[in-house]
Amino acid sequence: MHINKHDSHILPVKFEYHAPETVEEVIELLMEHGEEARLLAGGTDLLVKMKQRLLEPRHLINLKKIDGLNGIEERHDGVHIGAVTRLRDLERSEVIRDRLPLLHEAVKAVGSVQIRNMATVGGNICNASPSADAALALIALDAKIDIAGSKGMRRLPLEEFFLGPGQTLLEAGEMLVNIVVSPPAPGSGSAFIKLGRTSLDLATISIATILTLKKGAVDLCRIAMGAVAPTPLRAREAEEFLKGKELTGEVLSRAAKLVSEAISPITDIRSTAEYRRAASKGLTLDALTRAAKAAGGSGS
């Protein structure tokens, strides 16, 4: 494992740099240095905060040398995505495009190509932003995550990982290592839509939805909303309402109303709570209609 002292003119923080080669070494470092350590993968968020002195870690742990944390592989239990896989690699992957089109669509919406060339899927998740694009799509896909720690590995639904803005279930000495996603069943369609001031901006409000139709009626529905609550939000009441129904205009309107009632938006520099609540209805209608058409239904 490579270790050296680092005093950069670019980063106004003195820190010790670690380049472990195994997950076990990372966990040992996290246990040893605790809150003074930060994991470095893409660095699109961490390095900015260090430059602004919002974070001043004494230890940076680079994950790039660790085998098995980077890559996309289809296995018997779903598509496995390593935590340090870059978003640009997800965007270019035929497996993601063909088997998980919702994730492919969401990843393309993240920032610029330059950002996607650096940012990792694990970073998008672990930043725990309520408006994270890739994380929202993964929640709608019912993704599971693998977390490694001193007590071994544990797997949990991604949806349960988030506690609040910037807060997750990660305990001391733990790290996200893998994401597992089961491809949607035949007869499924999906849609990802986000509203922002510009195409590169964080979402003012976003939605990821997936529908499975059987004999013209909804067999399965998942609706995940972003930037409308402290964490990404599943609109479960709307999902349950849609199950077993044909997607008529009246049904879609009722589902959109249920979504608008489920969210708890705030007013911030990007938008007002009132706008987000009103916009959620139209966004839900558009997303469900697109997903239904992709699934082979009319959605009208």
The strands making up 72-75's β-sheet, listed across from edge to edge, are: 72-75, 78-82, 175-181, 144-149, 152-157
Judge whether 141 and 181 are in contact, CB under 8 Å: yes
Q: Report the percent of the chain where pLDDT is more than 90.
A: 73
Max CA distance (Å), the chain: 64
- pLDDT-derived band at 11 (thresholds 50, 70, 90) equals low
Both tokens of 245, joined, read 């129904």
- pLDDT-derived band at 7 (thresholds 50, 70, 90) equals very low
Q: Which domains does the chain have, with CATH numbers?
A: 2-62 (3.30.43.10), 72-181 (3.30.465.10), 188-295 (3.30.390.50)
pLDDT digits (tens, 9 = 90+) for 194-238: 987 555 556 689 999 999 999 999 999 999 999 999 999 999 999
203 vs 165 pLDDT, higher one? 165
Q: Is the pLDDT of residue 288 over 80?
A: yes
Q: Is the pLDDT of residue 25 over 60?
A: yes
- As a whole number of Å, the end-to-end CA separation of the chain is 59
Burial 268-294 (b: 16+ CB within 10 A, else e): eebbeeeebbebbbebbbbbbbbbbbb
Q: Is the pLDDT of residue 5 over 80?
A: no
Query: Average pLDDT, whole number, for the chain?
Result: 90
* Residue length of the chain: 300
Query: What's the pLDDT score for residue 3?
Result: 47
Helices (H) and strands (E) in the chain, counts: 11, 15
pTM, full prediction:
0.90
Query: What's the pLDDT score for residue 200?
Result: 53
Half-sphere exposure (Cβ direction) of 93: Cα atoms closer than 13 Å? 25
- The residue-averaged pLDDT of 59-80 equals 94
- The residue-averaged pLDDT of 89-114 equals 95
| 118 CB burial (10 A radius; 0-12, 13-18, 19+) | middle
- The residue-averaged pLDDT of 50-67 equals 86
- The residue-averaged pLDDT of 179-208 equals 85
Query: What's the pLDDT score for residue 12?
Result: 63
56 vs 198 pLDDT, higher one? 56
Q: Report the percent of the chain where pLDDT is more than 70.
A: 92
pLDDT digits (tens, 9 = 90+) for 142-153: 999 999 999 999
Query: What's the pLDDT score for residue 201?
Result: 55
Query: What's the pLDDT score for residue 241?
Result: 98
- The residue-averaged pLDDT of 28-43 equals 91
